[in-house]
Amino acid sequence: MKRLLTLLTLLPMLCAALPFQTQAATRLTYSNFFPPTNHQSRLAEEWCREVEKRTGGKVAIEYYPGSTLTKAKQCYDGVVEGISDLGLSCLAYSRGRFPVMAAVDLPLGYTSAAQATATANAVYAHFKPAELDDVEVMYFNGHGPGLLFTATTPVRTLEDLKGLKIRSTGNSAQLVKALGGTPVAKPMPENYQLLQKGVVDGSMHPIESNKSFKLGEVCTFGTDSFDVAYTTVFFIVMNKDKWNALDADSQKIIREINTEWAVRHAAAWDEADVIGRQFLLDQGGQIFKLNAEETVRWKTAAQPVIDNYIKEADAKGLNGREIIDFTLSTLQE
């Protein structure tokens, strides 16, 4: 009996000494369409583990990569509806739904992911757009320069692009149309088969995707058109009710991690671009740089995409010119 009483006395202390994973107060789910081996997917999973570590186990996260919980297009609504508590996908899959943030995706002439990521987060912080009020924004990141890659037809001029079917989404689709191509709106995970089967002639995508999605195996040519390069803004958002249910200390810790991870995502994109470019070349691919005259033609052809954005934003009661001017000034800093 004495031994039993001793054990009962020690039980609370033993429970308190258990590893923090067993004491998690809140369990969350995180959905992501990137395959688990992709650098962005690995970073997302590292974010989950860092949250667990720094909150001392008060927050634990189950990670679901590769569209195993929600597909890329359904990810945002999945977070809003509570199918997942957190989600990573891109705003371009819901064209027209995020009019302020869509400005960042325009063909403004991006040169790096660091530039694109800083711009996306600055635009959100400055305008605090109501379009994202139904979630708690963690942070954004943007990939490096979005460029044109084709399977069998090299593109050195606008005439070469005319009539080609190009996989593209959101504002990149508008760019393809402005340049004379035919946009085909399909998610990135479907891109390889589309190119392999000849359903599309090419793709607008970041350089890194030549390796991470193996697109360098089915694309033979690349066109360096940096003066009209776009980015794609990726969101990491959380269900608002789940966020509000967290204690203040956990929220503070997560915000600190978010700031660090946005920078890490950008660095990973830029490092992956170097690898992706080389991967295409190693498969026997070729990359063409636009000459000065052709560059001017492409910029002129792309300008209506920006002008149209301003008109559409104004029609929604926004100040399109102000949004563009702020985005450009931030991008150029």
Q: Is the pLDDT of residue 87 over 90?
A: yes
Architecture of domain 21-99+113-142+232-272: 3-Layer(aba) Sandwich (3.40)
Task: Output the CA torsion sign for 108, 113, 114, 119.
Answer: positive
What local confidence, expressed as pLDDT, does residue 326 receive?
Answer: 98
107-to-67, 193, 196, 303 alpha-carbon distances in Å: 28, 26, 27, 8
Instruction: Work out the average pLDDT over 22-26.
Output: 63
The better pLDDT of the pair 1, 206 is held by 206
Instruction: Work out the average pLDDT over 233-243.
Output: 97
Report percent pLDDT > 70 for the chain: 93
What local confidence, expressed as pLDDT, does residue 239 receive?
Answer: 98
Give me the chain's average pLDDT, please: 92
List pLDDT tens digits, range 301-319.
999 999 999 999 999 999 9
What local confidence, expressed as pLDDT, does residue 291 receive?
Answer: 95
What local confidence, expressed as pLDDT, does residue 79 receive?
Answer: 98
What local confidence, expressed as pLDDT, does residue 151 receive?
Answer: 98
Q: Is the pLDDT of residue 19 over 70?
A: no
The better pLDDT of the pair 265, 15 is held by 265
Residue 187 confidence class, pLDDT cut points 50, 70, 90: confident
Query: Two tokens at 89?
Result: 């996908």
Which residues touch 228 (CB under 8 Å, ≥6 apart)?
107, 109, 175, 179, 298, 299, 302
List pLDDT tens digits, range 93-143.
887 899 999 999 999 999 999 999 999 999 999 999 999 999 999 999 999
State the pTM of this model: 0.84
The CATH number of 146-230+274-332, from 3.40.190.170, 3.90.1170.40, 3.40.50.1000, 3.40.50.2300, is 3.40.190.170
Q: Buried b / exposed e across 91-101, counting CB within 10 Å, b at 16+? A: bbbbbeebbbb
Q: Is the pLDDT of residue 20 over 50?
A: no
List pLDDT tens digits, range 32-42.
999 899 889 99
Place of tokens 């030549």: 210
Domains 21-99+113-142+232-272 and 146-230+274-332 share a fold: yes
Residue 7 confidence class, pLDDT cut points 50, 70, 90: very low
Cβ burial of 8 (10 Å; 0-12, 13-18, 19+) is exposed
Extents of the domains making up the chain: 21-99+113-142+232-272, 146-230+274-332
Count Cβ atoms below 10 Å from residue 51 Cβ, excluding itself.
22
